Amino acid sequence: MASPTDTQDPFERIYQVCEQVPSGQVATYGDIAAIVGQGCDARTVGHAMAALGSRAASVPWQRIINRTGGISTSGPRQRELLEEEGVAFDDKGHVRMDAHHWAGPSEAWARAHGFTVLPPRDAPAPAAQLKLF
């Protein structure tokens, strides 16, 4: 049996999750893939973004970046859009993931649409903290 509100199209589900990313925040391809699940891979999300087509006007594709916080698209267009939303970049052109990383959709929303909740990413960076003293 299929899940409720089953869009059947993996790309369509990816677009749905992307639309949940609020303005001023960014999400990584891996995060979107983890939420969508169903064998969706970070690369699959990239393909979906490349196949946006006319959907580019409805999906905040600019808020989807790679894990390094860098922009994979060609041209400064994506950075322009993000800066318009208040996203800060460092001198190297990387997004400040520590300040703009999207924590994921609401658990209620995820369950209502049959998505997976993003795992707790509260990694305390052990090495840094241990070496602090």
- β-bridge mates for residue 47, sequence order: none
* Helix locations, 1-133, DSSP H: 10-18, 29-36, 42-50, 77-85, 97-100, 107-112, 126-130
Give residues in contact with DNA (CB under 7 A): 10-11, 28-30, 39-47, 49-52, 56, 61-62, 64, 66-68, 72-73, 78, 92, 94
Q: Closer CB to DNA, residue 21 or residue 40?
A: 40
Residue 64 — φ and ψ, nearest 5°? -100, 115
Q: Closer CB to DNA, residue 111 or residue 121?
A: 121
Instruction: Give the Cα separation of 113 and 49 in Å (integer).
Output: 20
Q: Closer CB to DNA, residue 42 or residue 109?
A: 42
Q: Closer CB to DNA, residue 46 or residue 114?
A: 46
